[in-house]
Structure 1
Amino acid sequence: METLTEPFRPGDRITDDAELLELACYLADGSRPGERDLTLTWLDADDRVVGVVLPVDDVPTAPDAAAARHLGDLLREVLDEHAPGGSVVAVLGRPGDSAVSAGDRAWNRALRARSGVRVRGVFVAAGGEVRPLTLDDA
Structure 2
Amino acid sequence: MDTRIEPFRPGDRISDDAELLELAAWLADASRPGERDLTLTWLDADDRVVGVVVPVDDAPAAPDVELTRHLGTLMREVLDEHAPGGSIVAVLGRPGDSAIGAADRAWNRALRADPGGRVRGVFVAADGVVRPLTLDDA
Instruction: Say whether the fold is shared (TM-score over 0.5).
Output: yes
Give how far 1:101 is off: 1.2
Measured in 2, the distance between the counterparts of 1:127 and 1:82 equals 33
Contact 1:68–1:115 (Cα < 8 Å) also in 2: no
2:33 partner letter? P
* Corresponding residue SS for 1:26: helix
| Structure 1 residue runs without a partner (length 5+) | 1-5
Measured in 2, the distance between the counterparts of 1:129 and 1:104 equals 14
Measured in 2, the distance between the counterparts of 1:115 and 1:28 equals 21
Instruction: Give the aligned CA root-mean-square deviation in angstroms.
Output: 0.8
* Corresponding residue SS for 1:91: strand
What does residue 20 of structure 1 align with?
20
1:50 partner letter? V
Q: Deviations over 1:5-46 (max 9, x none)?
A: x32111110000000000000000000000000001000000
Give how far 1:115 is off: 2.4
Measured in 1, the distance between the counterparts of 2:77 and 2:116 equals 11
1:105-124 → structure 2 map (5 Å cutoff)? 105-124=105-124
What does residue 102 of structure 1 align with?
102
Q: Deviations over 1:87-114 (max 9, x none)?
A: 0100000000000011110110011123
Measured in 1, the distance between the counterparts of 2:100 and 2:117 equals 23
The count of aligned residue pairs is 133
Give how far 1:132 is off: 0.3
| TM-score calculated relative to the size of structure 2 | 0.94
Contact 1:38–1:91 (Cα < 8 Å) also in 2: yes
Which segments of structure 1 move beyond 3 Å, counting only runs of 4 or more? none
What does residue 39 of structure 1 align with?
39
* Corresponding residue SS for 1:68: helix
Give how far 1:127 is off: 1.2
Measured in 1, the distance between the counterparts of 2:45 and 2:20 equals 15
Give how far 1:117 is off: 2.1
